[in-house]
């Protein structure tokens, strides 16, 4: 699946992905993906640099969360939906980028 995501990601330039990350993700997830921002800590975002979390989150789940957003158990919005802001290729490129944040062994 990662190969398919990377192939899609190559359609978008690295600058496009970086622009989308900075504009839509970094305020909570941080430039580095660790989620150590004030908004990230408040929302309880996961650390994308953690290999264990990378194994836990599937591409399908990440796509769903980006497109449809996330709510806590009380129905309060934790992450807004981006389906109206990002197309499928942009979402896949962001996931491919996220996959590069965890160190490989």
Which pLDDT value is given to residue 45? 94
pLDDT tens digit sequence for 71-81: 999 999 999 99
Which residues, including other chains, have CB under 8 Å from residue 41's CB and lie 6 or more apart?
35
Token output for 2:
């990662």
End-to-end CA distance of the chain: 19
Task: Compute and round to an integer the Cα radius of gyration of the chain.
Answer: 13
The CA distance from 52 to 83, in Å, is 27
Instruction: Name residues of the chain where pLDDT drops below 70.
Output: 1-11, 105
Q: Residues for the chain: how many in total? A: 105
């Amino acid at each position: 699946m990662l190969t398919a995501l990377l192939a899609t990601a190559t359609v978008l330039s690295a600058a496009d992905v970086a622009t989308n990350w900075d504009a839509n993700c970094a305020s909570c997830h941080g430039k580095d993906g660790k989620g150590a921002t004030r908004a990230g800590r408040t929302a309880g975002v996961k650390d994308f640099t953690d290999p264990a979390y990378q194994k836990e989150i599937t591409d399908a789940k990440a796509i769903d969360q980006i497109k449809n957003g996330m709510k806590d158990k009380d129905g309060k919005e934790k992450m807004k939906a981006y389906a109206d802001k990002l197309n499928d290729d942009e979402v896949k490129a962001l996931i491919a980028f996220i996959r590069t944040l965890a160190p490989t062994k």
